[in-house]
Structure 1
Amino acid sequence: MTWIGIRILITLLLLVSQNLPAQNIIANAQVETTQLSKTSARAIFAMRAQEWPNGTPIKVFVLEDQNPIHSQFCKTILGMFPYQLRRIWDRQVFSGTGAAPEVVKSEQEMLDAVANTAGAIGYTDKEISHTNKRIKTIKVDL
């Protein structure tokens, strides 16, 4: 590879890495869990985990499949592509063994839904201010 090719590759990598938004898993403040493993997060968002450790039902909220925040969340936090997650949901719904998550249209709708639903979990690329007492951030061990 030539020197020019290497410089172009480095520049592209720097540009791509700077544009990645931070991803935050958020939950209703009543959820006792403060940290999840990547495996647990994947199980929750794949609708395989049904309840929190204290027995409260988990209510999952996600953005639409085409939303870039959803795509980035799937790739960085869950380690899968959005179409893979959609296939899991569709298979569970079709077979009658599970349900799909609740789809919201915007991050603000996500914040409102999580804040107002017991046991709710979702995600955002915004920083959650500590003034919102109804939402908390959950750390994920990547």
Structure 2
Amino acid sequence: MAYFLLATAQVIAREPPVLLVANPNVTTHWLNQDTTRAIFAMRQRTWPDGQAVRVFVLDSSDPVHARFTKKQLSVYPHQLQLAWDRMVFSGTGQAPNRVSTQTEMRDRIASTPGALGYLEREYVDDSIQVISMD
């Protein structure tokens, strides 16, 4: 049993970190977890400077999406999906923009003013900026 737990911890430790990334024109360079969670839950629709936030996410079944929501937002993917569905069906909001791959995520964030999303480090380049989280 102890070996299984150690092996599981080692696999989790080897997973690449998922970083919060934004369009380069975004003037915010740091967000706390509560604000980040509110943005991804589509409850906060603007950056602190008033610019509209355009949220991009991978499919809820994507392992990178699951790692981001669990580790950075401290929520499960299905909880976010329920919140989005509730807003869409009630007419009080909309779901985030869904992309198929991390490459598409990077390209859409780079070309969309106010965009926010997440990527593994290997997909980050100079076309986007990393947003720090506490």
Superposition TM-score, scaled by structure 1 size:
0.88
| 1:122–1:11 distance in 2 versus 1, CA, 3 Å | same
Shift of 1:10: 4.6
1:85-104 alignment, distance < 5 Å: 85-104=80-99
**Aligned letter for 2:10?**
L
Distance, in Å, in 2 between the alignment partners of 1:91 and 1:69 is 23
Please name the residue that 1:135 is paired with. Answer: 128
Q: After the TM superposition, which parts of structure 1 deviate over 4 Å for at least 4 consecutive aligned residues?
A: none
**Aligned letter for 2:88?**
V
1:20-39 alignment, distance < 5 Å: 20-39=15-34
For these two proteins, the number of residue pairs brought into alignment is: 133
Distance, in Å, in 1 between the alignment partners of 2:11 and 2:79 is 23
Cα shift readout 1:107-128 (whole Å, capped 9, x = no counterpart): 0000000000000000001242
Give me the CA root mean square deviation.
Answer: 1.3
Unaligned segments of structure 1, at least 5 residues: none
Superposition TM-score, scaled by structure 2 size:
0.93
| 1:13–1:115 distance in 2 versus 1, CA, 3 Å | same
Please name the residue that 1:120 is paired with. Answer: 115
Distance, in Å, in 1 between the alignment partners of 2:119 and 2:87 is 25
Distance, in Å, in 1 between the alignment partners of 2:89 and 2:71 is 27
Residue aligned with 1:24, SS? strand
Say which one has the larger Rg. Answer: 1
